[in-house]
Amino acid sequence: MDLVRLQYFMAVANAQSYSKAAAALNLSQPTLSRQVQLLEAEVGQPLLERHGRGVRLTESGKAMLAHARAINTAVENAKADMAERLSSPRGKIRVGLPPLVASLITPDLVQQFLLACPDASIIVEESLSIRLREWLVSDRLDVAVLFDPTHTAQMLVEPLVREPLVLISTRPLPERVKVSQLVDYPLVLPSRPQALRVIFDEAVEDQQLPLRIVAEVDTIKMVLSLVARNVGCSLVPASAVKTWPAAEPVHVAQVVQPVIRNRIVLATPSARPNNRLVKAVNGIIKQLMKRHF
CA dist 64 and 13 (Å) reads 10
Q: Please, which residues have CB within 8 angstroms of residue 37's CB and are 6 or more apart in sequence?
A: none
CATH number of 91-161+263-292: 3.40.190.10
Say how far residue 237 (Cα) sits from the centre of its chain.
23
What is 163-262's CATH topology? D-Maltodextrin-Binding Protein; domain 2 (3.40.190)
For the chain, what is the largest distance between any 2 Cα atoms, rounded to a whole number of angstroms?
99
Is residue 117 within 8 Å of residue 280, measured between CB atoms?
yes
CATH number of 3-86: 1.10.10.10
Q: Please, which residues have CB within 8 angstroms of residue 130's CB and are 6 or more apart in sequence?
A: 193, 194, 195
For the chain, the structural domain boundaries read 3-86, 91-161+263-292, 163-262
- Which letter, b or e, does each residue of 168-192 get, where b requires 16 or more Cβ atoms within 10 Å of its Cβ? bbbeebeeebebebbeebebbbbbe
- pLDDT given for residue 87 in this prediction: 64
Cis upstream peptide for 193 (omega within 30°): yes
For the chain, report the end-to-end CA distance as a whole number of angstroms: 51
148-182 confidence digits (pLDDT tens): 887 888 899 999 999 999 999 999 999 999 999 99
- pLDDT given for residue 86 in this prediction: 63
Domains 3-86 and 91-161+263-292 share a fold: no
- pLDDT of 105 > 70? The answer is yes
CA dist 97 and 117 (Å) reads 20
CA dist 249 and 173 (Å) reads 12
- pLDDT of 80 > 80? The answer is no
DSSP label at residue 238: G
204-241 confidence digits (pLDDT tens): 888 889 999 999 998 888 999 999 999 999 999 999 99
- pLDDT given for residue 18 in this prediction: 92
Is residue 236 within 8 Å of residue 207, measured between CB atoms?
no
- Which letter, b or e, does each residue of 4-16 get, where b requires 16 or more Cβ atoms within 10 Å of its Cβ? ebbebbbbbbebe
Give me the helix-helix angle, 276-292 and 99-116, nearest 10°: 130
Exposed / middle / buried, residue 26 (Cβ in 10 Å: 0-12, 13-18, 19+) = exposed
33-74 confidence digits (pLDDT tens): 999 999 999 999 999 999 888 899 999 999 999 999 999 888
Is residue 19 within 8 Å of residue 29, measured between CB atoms?
yes
pLDDT band at 84 (very low <50, low <70, confident <90, very high): low
Is residue 39 within 8 Å of residue 101, measured between CB atoms?
no
pLDDT band at 1 (very low <50, low <70, confident <90, very high): confident
Say how far residue 180 (Cα) sits from the centre of its chain.
38
